[in-house]
Structure 1
Amino acid sequence: MIRTTKLLAALAATTFLVAPAWAANVPDGVTLAEDQSFTYRVLDEHSSVDPQIVEDVSGSEIVRDLFEGLLTQSADGELLPGVATEWESNEDFTEWTFTLRDNAVWSDGEPVTAGDFVYAWQRLVDPETASPYAWFGELMSLENASAIIAGEVEPSELGVEAVDDQTLVVRLSQGLPFFDSMLTHASTFPAPAWVIEEHGDQWTRPENIVTNGAYILSEHVPQERSVRVKSDTYWDAENTVLETVTALVINDENQALTRFLAGELDRTEVPTGQYPRLVEEYPDTAISIPTLCTYYYNFNLRDGGPEATQDVRVRQALSYAVDRDVIVDQVLQGGQTAAYVFAPVGMENMGTPEIGYEDMTQAERDAEAVRLMEEAGYGPGGETLELSILYNTSDAHRQLATVMGQMWQQKLGVNTTLENMEWNTFLEARENGDFDVSRGGWCADYNDPSTFLDLFNTNSGYNDAAYSNEEVDALLAEGKSLADAEEINAQIEEIVAEEMPVIPVYHYANVYMLNPQIQEWPINNVEANWYSKDLYKVAAE
């Protein structure tokens, strides 16, 4: 994503205006399909479609269709107006003002106002909401967010104000040059107070929900499907082409591929290891797109976690023994890249950390892993280490856990057991620390390394390893207010690589089978955000 604020950081009181280029842009002469529907596969039931509750990728995809925030993104990841048509910051980026469009309405006909954002953001950090993303309010540096989350101050004291229906003013506790890039995240989307007050936690049911995005929720069958249909009240409805979008829950990726090839799906993930074959057989259908996501394993560093992994030598040994090249080149085979740092290489504002083990050969890493384990009292001549690996149900996750367990057993004599859980149960177990080692996946909420590195903040809501380092906390706080934090971000990565609270395994590529009739898929959006309103289906040849 090109961050306008970074490019213009030297300018005071900058106003951001972007030419309107929204919704599906169908070229002249293109014949559209009569059936304007898009059906795609998801692995698990989504966590929620409540903007302030949703915490997973598949749920956020749905929320981006149902709701629209202040800003949105182009197919290239550039910021575009959403509900806000103009925005500006003061010189030190501590106050931001947004001008809202006057033709945005909710699906029940009520106008979308600045007050709807005030309500949503206060709701995000309100302890009574128990939002898993409440910490994002702190990450945004919203004034008083930390105190509100701690229960010390009322939500009404949050630094966000509706000056009038079309003017929203946001006050930050410290300058944040990339603040506007954070506003495409679902947790910042508006919420209809009158609907939530009437229906409580049932407000997102299809018969109750009121939305302000390009689509409304027409059907939801848990663990089976979710259907959204075009909203006639959306301000740009006339330029929205797809009429129906359906997410089908299919746990088995091979079954999903079979259904795709039978014409039942327009998009599905390529099963692990099958991309080389499929791209040769279906060159116009199989695609691999690098994206800002990292696959990793957490160590449980809580007091009740395994005694062995409290020892940094054991954590380092287990990480060094993972042959990442084998995983990406022989197991995954879909364009993924080996990860030795947490934030994907190439992100804006990311320096080049010096990670010692990255420069070793795998043989050297293996030898060092053996030495570290023996020094810690495990392996040949020592104690046999027993670990369980927790992952959410998926053939791909099972396969990777099996491979990593084999590497640990063969090289270090570690015995592993695999433990899989359904998605929401898995999230709860991981959050509660009911694991030895657990898989994790993190995708950028915005294009800055802080979206990754903040997971190592002691108080982060997604610090599933329960890692705590005062120096890292201080560096994170210092880096947030800098327009150029490359050196600090690199320093954080170096500390994390040394203390190894997590094992970075690989950086993702989105590897899909995509119906060639579906046009304008945003392959250049490195955050992998897509909006159904920007897509359309052409007639079959």
Structure 2
Amino acid sequence: MRRFVAGMLAVLMLAAVGCSGRSSSGSQEMVIRMNIGTNPPSLDPRVTTGLPEAHVEIALFEGLMRLDEKGNAIPGAAARYEVNDDATVFTFYLRDGLKWSNGDPLTAEDFVWTWKSVLDPLLASEYAYQLYYIKGAEEMNTFTSDPKWENASDEEIKAEFERLAQNFGAVALDDKTLRVTLEAPTPYFLSLTAFHVYYPVHRASVEANPEAWFRNPDTLVGNGPFRLVSWTDKDKVIVEKNPNYWGANEVKLDKIEFYLIEEESTATTMFENGELDIIESGVNTAELDRLKEQYPNELKILPDLGIYYYLFNVEKEPLNDKRVRQALALAIDRNAIVTQITKGGQVPAYALVPEGIPEGNGDFRLNGGDFFQEDVEKARQLLAEAGYPNGQGFPTLTILYNTSEGHQRIAEAIQEMWKNNLGINVQLTNQEWGVYLDSRSTGDYEIARAGWIGDYIDPMTFIDMFVTGGGNNDTNWGNAQYDALVNTAKKSADAAERYKAMHEAEAILMDEMPIMPIYFYTRVIMVSEDVEGWSMPLTSPLNLRDASIKK
């Protein structure tokens, strides 16, 4: 999942709202106000890719399973499940009386229809590949890549899609029973069903207004613990308790207000003034030392499963030369970035996959080791071999980042390092979150800031991002050997073979260097001592389903 925040930088600030509440009517409501840092481009869980929108979606929707505070998959919309002996067939039994937020009954067919819609090539969901574990899903989503479909009409594509969908491995046996047949055993499949691309959406609402159903409280019909009240661009999204949620009696909050403030200094000041209760994104990293001292009981630095990195658009010269990409990666001081700029316990990254993912009795990252270290002399040599001795003749490239003071500080530091170490100049430009995502996905950039949080606890959540043509591969890089190794790891039931293939794939990626790892994330959070019941598993957005204020 794409991370919006920078620097330390997923700082969650959770504080008491008090029993007096904050409703405009003066009634005593339990309300939490959280900054998510930017305006979500969408709240359609089938197509979104970033954390800002995920924080809202986890309040509005729920998958078959959900994650507890330790990241374990526990029953969500499904009351229970069964799995066959070789772990290729899961049967989910929905809870009795499940309803959408508008009161309509929610059935197993709603999940099947939603998953099919994710795979529809006309939707162009970047996360469709996360359903490829289901039998028949990949062919349903990718058949249009065959040149013979290049000039096909939408009607022709829909007809072929429906034909292929007859073999889809997800089937509603009745209103309450869903059988899912996988292509191969997938150890993290249960966790995937808690991920947003597996959330169900309300078919009638989507079909009535396909482009904007998620914008309006009357048409955003969800099945989560909260329902949409309002969405004001560049201000806030407000949700309230959903009385039709199966676990409504467990939900203690009346409302959540998601603020969309991009300026870190503004968000931090608002928190300190009591105007915000949570900052998921937007703590001023320049103030982190003071905040540590001033809020010793509230400030916590926790492990995270994510990486902050730069993308190289390999179709742009001179970034189409591997030696140039390697030179740029070798010429920055990651330790200086994490100690002088982000200051939140981040770890310099010399690989793609962070620590924290088990491999047998060990750890995938520790077993694989680092792939490189800073080496300015080698970087200069590589740049000279590519035809740019001492940076001479090297074109002025541009670093793109989404608007954030933290991202800007990091980009400025890298700009200076490349100037001092390689003699090259780069420019900086920033864009609002949605525009920035569009620029990346269309290849309208040269170098771009990126971040990724694991969607489940397995190396594959990082490795499969960079397959050729992958929905989250914005580098335009592809490698057939890499693709084959990823496919082997996905299809193999042998753990040793899986990990071996993923280590080899990561080695190819780090040699080709279409991305430049910078650091592995931590979660720097501030939690009011008056708040309890919130959870933040490694692979999940902040979840306020069970949050409350001490009385």
The 2-side partners of 1:31 and 1:381 are apart by 62
* Equivalent of residue 495 in structure 1, options 480, 497, 508: 508
* Equivalent of residue 543 in structure 2, options 531, 534, 539: 531
Secondary structure of the equivalent of 1:115?
helix
Question: Which aligned pairs between 1:17-166 and structure 2 lie closer than 5 A?
Answer: 35-138=29-132, 140-151=133-144, 152-154=160-162, 156-157=165-166, 158-166=168-176
Distance 1:153 1:175, change over 3 A: farther
Distance 1:528 1:185, change over 3 A: closer
Distance 1:384 1:130, change over 3 A: closer
Report what 1:6 is aligned to.
none
Secondary structure of the equivalent of 2:126?
coil
Moved more, 425-434 or 51-60: 51-60
The 2-side partners of 1:507 and 1:464 are apart by 20
Q: CA deviation at 1:356?
A: 4.1
Report if aligned partners of 1:355, 1:494 keep a CA contact under 8 Å in 2: no
Question: Which aligned pairs between 1:39-438 and structure 2 lie closer than 5 A?
Answer: 39-138=33-132, 140-151=133-144, 152-154=160-162, 156-157=165-166, 158-204=168-214, 205-268=216-279, 269-302=282-315, 305=316, 307-349=317-359, 350=364, 352-358=367-373, 362=374, 365-380=375-390, 382-438=392-448
Moved more, 264-273 or 447-456: 264-273
Moved more, 90-99 or 275-284: 90-99
Name the amino acid aligned to 1:421.
Answer: Q
Report if aligned partners of 1:32, 1:538 keep a CA contact under 8 Å in 2: no
Name the amino acid aligned to 2:263.
Answer: D
Q: CA deviation at 1:517?
A: 2.2
Report if aligned partners of 1:177, 1:483 keep a CA contact under 8 Å in 2: no
Report if aligned partners of 1:338, 1:506 keep a CA contact under 8 Å in 2: yes
Q: CA deviation at 1:295?
A: 0.7
Q: CA deviation at 1:156?
A: 3.2
The 2-side partners of 1:93 and 1:108 are apart by 36
Secondary structure of the equivalent of 1:380?
helix
Q: Deviations over 1:94-133 (max 9, x none)?
A: 2221111113211122221100100110010112223232
The 2-side partners of 1:188 and 1:378 are apart by 48
The 2-side partners of 1:93 and 1:237 are apart by 32
Secondary structure of the equivalent of 1:448?
coil
Report if aligned partners of 2:119, 2:140 keep a CA contact under 8 Å in 1: no
Q: Deviations over 1:111-165 (max 9, x none)?
A: 2110010011001011222323222222x34424333343453263322100001
Distance 1:102 1:301, change over 3 A: same
The 2-side partners of 1:513 and 1:381 are apart by 44
**What TM-score comes out, normalization by structure 2 length?**
0.87
The 2-side partners of 1:106 and 1:218 are apart by 15
Task: Report the count of equivalent residues.
Answer: 500
Listed as ranges, the gaps of 5+ residues in structure 2 are 1-17, 22-27, 145-159
Moved more, 123-132 or 258-267: 123-132
The 2-side partners of 1:500 and 1:381 are apart by 19
Calculate the aligned-residue CA RMSD, in Å: 2.0
Q: CA deviation at 1:382?
A: 3.9
The 1-side partners of 2:369 and 2:525 are apart by 33
The 2-side partners of 1:516 and 1:528 are apart by 22
Q: CA deviation at 1:44?
A: 1.0
Secondary structure of the equivalent of 2:79?
strand
Secondary structure of the equivalent of 1:445?
coil
The 2-side partners of 1:531 and 1:185 are apart by 13
Distance 1:262 1:475, change over 3 A: same
Moved more, 262-271 or 469-478: 262-271
Moved more, 108-117 or 482-491: 482-491
Name the amino acid aligned to 2:239.
Answer: R
Distance 1:238 1:47, change over 3 A: same
The 2-side partners of 1:128 and 1:102 are apart by 34
Name the amino acid aligned to 1:69.
Answer: G
Secondary structure of the equivalent of 1:328?
helix
Distance 1:226 1:129, change over 3 A: same
Name the amino acid aligned to 2:337.
Answer: I
The 2-side partners of 1:182 and 1:222 are apart by 30
The 2-side partners of 1:514 and 1:444 are apart by 23
Name the amino acid aligned to 2:161.
Answer: V
Name the amino acid aligned to 1:309.
Answer: L
Secondary structure of the equivalent of 1:344?
coil
* Equivalent of residue 486 in structure 1, options 496, 499, 504: 499
Moved more, 460-469 or 46-55: 46-55
Secondary structure of the equivalent of 2:285?
coil
The 2-side partners of 1:318 and 1:149 are apart by 34
Listed as ranges, the gaps of 5+ residues in structure 1 are 1-29
